[in-house]
Amino acid sequence: MNLAIILQAGVATGTALLFATLGEILTERSGILNLGVEGMMLLGAMTSYAMSNKFGNPWIGILFGMLAAGLVSQVHAFITVTLQADQVVSGLSLNFLATGISLVLGEGLNSLVGVPLIPKFDIPLLSQIPFIGDVFFAGHSALVYVGYLMVPLAWYFINRTRPGMHLRAVGEYPSAVDAQGINVFGMRYFYIFVGGLLAGLGGAAISLAISPGFFAEKTTSGQGWIAVGLVIFAQWNPIRAAFGGYIFGALRRLVLDIQGPMLLLGFANPFYYNPYYGFFLKMLPYAFTVIVLIIGSREANRKRVGSPAALGLPYIRGQRGL
């Protein structure tokens, strides 16, 4: 077990989570809860893998994967924004819908060979830094580096730009935004779409970079749900989302590696001698998410950085006493 390797793998694996979490943060900031992230990620993974194979170019694959997830997210937009239906119910159905489509259309994709993947490379100079260079800047796929750029950009967009200010306002108090002549419905459609695009990108990152291939539900294996949880842990802040994503990624790697050595801290390694304990280990990252979630939301309560106030509520114009 080598710390640098675990962290490096954590950053790589966490990138998929990061994209999906950032997308869900933007959606929730506009006041819409979308529980369909897992399904949208799977659809993105399936579509991008298939299209990369068809066009022989992973980037075209990613483009299609993002668009597919973005389009399917608009079903949720129509149901929750226009029809003003319950967001939890609609999000869960979206999840089934997108998962179903992916499984049907993705049938047999795992037998493909030689599908073009996202290239990996070192960042010159930065990769020379001891330890940090190995963890963050060496041998990663291009998408990892895209992730690094996206975190500060998303933060800047939300906190320091005019559209970002409108985004925050629409999730907090939509009637105030409406009264200023901004289209609340249009904005919500848009940010649900953006959330879909990013979930699709997260899925594509898995099937075309992190663990290449399409293995039905196992491709995403619940990471979409973890992304939904990380949003709360991140307190709707992209920078905390990056931490959450990378730590979770590292944990996934750690539980794999922990089964390797015969001795663990000088003791006989129980996970080495009882391979069945592996199931327990695989559960740990998810249990960790639950714990972190509880701690995170308690901290949020204490510091009074709650969820966007209008999260989960349909906006109905002219309704008195919001």
Partner 1 sequence: MEMVSTMDQENEVRECRNVVCMRGIVKHFPGVLANDHVDFELREGEVHALLGENGAGKSTLMNILAGLYRQDEGLIEVNGKEVKFNSPRDAIAAGIGMVHQHFMLVPSQSVTENILLGLSEPRFRLNLPHYDAVVAQMAEEYGLHVDPRAKIWQLSVGEQQRVELLKMLYRGAEILIMDEPTAVLAPSEIDDLFVTLRAMTQKGKSITFISHKLHEVMAISNRVTVLRKGKVTSSGINIADTSRAGLANLMVGREVVFRVDKNEQEPGDVILSVDNIHAENNKGLKALNGITLNVRAGEIVGLAGVAGNGQRELADVITGLRKASEGQVIIGGEDITNLSPKAGIRKGVSHIPEDRTHVGTAPNLSVTDNVIMKNYTEEPIGKGWMVNDTAATKYARELKKAFDIIVPNVHTSVRLLSGGNLQKVILAREISKKPELLIAMQPTRGLDVGAIEGVQRLLLLQREAGSAVLLVSEELEELLSLSDRIYVIYEGEIMGEVADGDIEKIGLMMTGMQMEDIRLQGEKSNE
- Tell me: does residue 166 bind partner 1 (CB under 8 A): yes
Among 71, 132, 182, 300, binds partner 1 (CB under 8 A): 182
Cα separation, 2 vs 257, in Å, equals 9
> Tokens representing 321?
């006493």
Among 176, 291, 294, 295, binds partner 1 (CB under 8 A): 176
Looking at 98-106, 122-130, 208-216, 314-322, which segment touches partner 1 (CB under 8 A)? 314-322
- Tell me: does residue 160 bind partner 1 (CB under 8 A): yes
Number of residues that bind partner 1 (CB under 8 A): 24
- State the DSSP string of 70-134: HHHHHHHHIIIIIS---HHHHHHHHHHHHHHHHHHHTTTGGG--------EEPPTTGGGSTTHII
- Tell me: does residue 169 bind partner 1 (CB under 8 A): yes
- Tell me: does residue 321 bind partner 1 (CB under 8 A): yes
| Least distance from partner 1 to the Cβ atom of residue 241, Å | 19
- Tell me: does residue 318 bind partner 1 (CB under 8 A): yes
3-state secondary structure 188-209: HHHHHHHHHHHHHHHHHHHHHH
- State the DSSP string of 211-272: S-S--GGGGTTTHHHHHHHHHHHTTT-HHHHHHHHHHHHHHHHHHHHTTS-SEETTEE-HHH
| Least distance from partner 1 to the Cβ atom of residue 188, Å | 16
| Least distance from partner 1 to the Cβ atom of residue 236, Å | 11
Q: What type of residue sits at position 78? A: F
- Tell me: does residue 181 bind partner 1 (CB under 8 A): yes
Nearer to partner 1, 2 or 180 (CB): 180
Looking at 20-28, 29-37, 98-106, 161-169, which segment touches partner 1 (CB under 8 A)? 161-169
> Tokens representing 173?
């108090």
Find the binding residues for partner 1 in span 36-55 (CB under 8 A). Answer: none
Cα separation, 9 vs 14, in Å, equals 8
Contact residues for partner 1 (CB under 8 A)? 160-166, 168-169, 172-173, 175-177, 179-182, 309, 318-322
